[in-house]
């Protein structure tokens, strides 16, 4: 991850602009383990640059939750902050190379709002979850020019690599999204997808709740798949294979097919490795047979107009509110030097929590960097938060 070690750190006067990068405010954590978050805008993205002490050194890097893609945005923001503050850089892993032309001109990289506002339904749509090296995604897109492929990945270097290849191969039928697949399915209208590929997902043997495939994911996959649509799992993990069989065997679920050591036209890096180790490869395909009802979610992420009293903050700090639909956790709290305060939140369903910030300025609240995904658990968590903020 790009970072700079600075000779010292001092917050600059804000708001400030350095080149194309704007810095709006600085929020410093309350209580132990001081860290500062500098609200940054670059192009159409908002994110935090994080300052904290690392031993004797002052470290400047991107905040994990709001980290934008591509990395170029972070690099520019870090360098812009150092330049504006006039602080010497002791060492860094930030190269000063220009922007990768493939990424700069790319419109295949979409934000989650793009899909939330207007999910594409004008042609056949297939989704690949965790495309990694993107070999399979690119291969399928080349083979099926009339199909739209949405590639989901949470590993930024893989996203950058895929975007580069999309440009080189001049593909116009791929959209790439840096987002957790388990949350993304909730945004898709019912009966829309023809396929969902999940190839070689991380097995998470010690933390099975972190697996992509689980009861809720399968429910959402069946809802979003059109009749005869397929959820295709390919794995080398015996544990994952058995877990999928168990999950798919739930009586309410549809048909599934199992194949062992089936050759496919394109072999991913992972598959190459497992084949060299002579591991078995399993395909477990779930087929949807039903038309699902339209998904209707009531509610908006809007806060009450009544001003929020700052005295509420100590009552909200570092609390977990558990409910039967999920939870709301106020993980950390911050004072905003320019006025107001902020909470780092985890919210929504237990197995697919959303991580983001809540900013309260002049008695008004807003989410940062974007609103939560419109899932039923997130909407319920929002209602709870709204009530708590207003005492």
Residue 95: count of CB within 10 angstroms of its CB? 8
Burial of 347 (0-12, 13-18, 19+ CB in 10 A): buried
Return the number of the residue (133 or 167) whose C-beta is nearest ligand SAM. 133
Of the two residues 152 and 389, which places its CB atom closer to ligand SAM in the complex?
152
Choose between 180 and 232: whose C-beta lies nearer to ligand SAM: 180
By C-beta, is 270 or 341 nearer to ligand SAM?
A: 270
Burial class (CB in 10 A: 0-12, 13-18, 19+), 264: middle
The least distance separating ligand SAM from the CB of residue 300, rounded to whole angstroms, comes to 26
> Least separation, in Å, of the C-beta of 162 and ligand SAM?
10
* Torsion angle of C-alpha atoms 296, 301, 306, 311, degrees rounded to 10: 130
Cβ 22 to ligand SAM, closest distance in Å?
30
Q: Per the omega criterion (within 30 degrees of 0), is the bond before 70 cis?
A: yes
Judged by the rule CB under 6 A, the positions of this chain that interact with ligand SAM are: 129-133, 152-155, 158, 180-182, 199-202, 212, 268-270
Torsion of CA 298, 153, 101, 135, to 10 degrees: -130
Distance CA 225, CA 246 (A): 20
Residue 196's contacts (CB-CB under 8 Å, 6 or more residues apart) are 126, 127, 128, 129, 221, 224, 225, 229, 230, 231, 232
For ligand SAM, give the closer residue by CB, 133 or 285: 133
Residue 214: CB minimum distance to ligand SAM, A: 10
User: Whole-number minimum distance, CB 225 to ligand SAM, in Å?
Assistant: 17
| Residue 48 β-bridge partners | 39
CB neighbourhood size of 145 (10 A) = 9
Q: Report whether 73 contacts 159 (CB < 8 A).
A: no
Looking at the Cβ atoms of 58 and 178, the one nearer to ligand SAM is: 178
Nearer to ligand SAM among residue 39 and residue 129 (C-beta)? 129
Of the two residues 326 and 340, which places its CB atom closer to ligand SAM in the complex?
326
Cα separation, 236 vs 241, whole angstroms: 8
Least distance between ligand SAM and beta carbon 159 (Å): 9
Could you tell me the smallest distance in angstroms from the CB atom of residue 153 to ligand SAM? 5
Return the SS3 of 22: strand
The CB-of-267 to ligand SAM minimum distance in angstroms stands at 9
C-alpha radius of gyration, the chain, whole number: 23
* Residue 10: other Cβ atoms inside 10 A: 10
Cβ proximity to ligand SAM: between 132 and 326 the closer is 132
- Closest separation between CB of residue 204 and ligand SAM, Å? 9
The residue written with tokens 């500098």 in the block is 38
Residue 325 CB-half CA count within 13 A? 13
């Amino acid at each position: 991850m790009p970072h700079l070690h600075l000779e010292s750190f001092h917050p600059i006067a804000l708001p400030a602009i350095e080149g194309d990068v704007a810095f709006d405010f600085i929020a410093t954590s309350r209580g132990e383990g001081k860290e500062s978050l500098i609200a940054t805008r670059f192009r159409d993205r908002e994110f935090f640059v994080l300052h904290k002490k690392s031993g004797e050194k002052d470290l400047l890097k991107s905040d994990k939750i709001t980290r934008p893609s591509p990395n170029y945005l972070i690099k520019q923001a870090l360098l812009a902050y150092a330049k504006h503050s006039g602080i010497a850089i002791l060492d860094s892993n930030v190269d000063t190379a220009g922007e990768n032309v493939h990424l700069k001109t790319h419109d295949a990289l979409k934000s989650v709002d793009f899909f939330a506002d207007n999910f594409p339904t004008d042609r056949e749509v297939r989704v690949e979850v965790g495309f990694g090296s993107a070999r399979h995604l690119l291969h399928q897109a080349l083979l099926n020019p009339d199909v739209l492929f949405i590639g989901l990945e949470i590993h930024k270097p893989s996203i950058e690599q895929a975007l580069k290849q999309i440009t080189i191969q001049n593909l116009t039928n791929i959209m790439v999204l840096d987002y957790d697949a388990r949350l993304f399915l909730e945004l898709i209208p019912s009966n829309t997808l023809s396929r969902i590929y999940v190839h070689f997902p991380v097995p998470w043997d010690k933390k099975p709740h972190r697996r992509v495939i689980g009861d809720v994911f399968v429910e959402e996959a069946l809802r979003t798949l059109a009749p005869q649509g397929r959820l295709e799992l390919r794995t080398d993990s015996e544990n994952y294979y058995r877990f999928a069989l168990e999950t798919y065997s739930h009586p309410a679920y549809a048909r599934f097919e199992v194949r062992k050591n089936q050759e496919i036209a394109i072999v991913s890096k992972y598959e190459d490795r497992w084949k060299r180790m002579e591991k078995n490869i399993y395909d477990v395909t779930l087929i949807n047979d039903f038309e699902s009802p339209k998904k209707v979610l009531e509610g908006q992420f809007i806060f009450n107009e009544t001003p929020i009293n700052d005295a509420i903050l100590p009552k909200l700090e570092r609390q977990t509110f558990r409910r039967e639909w999920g939870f709301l956790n106020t993980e950390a709290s911050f004072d905003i030097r320019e006025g107001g305060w902020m909470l780092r939140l985890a919210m929504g369903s237990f197995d697919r929590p959303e991580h983001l910030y809540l900013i309260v300025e002049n008695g008004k609240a807003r989410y940062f960097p974007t609103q939560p995904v419109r899932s039923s658990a997130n909407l319920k968590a929002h209602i709870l938060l709204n009530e708590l903020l207003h005492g």
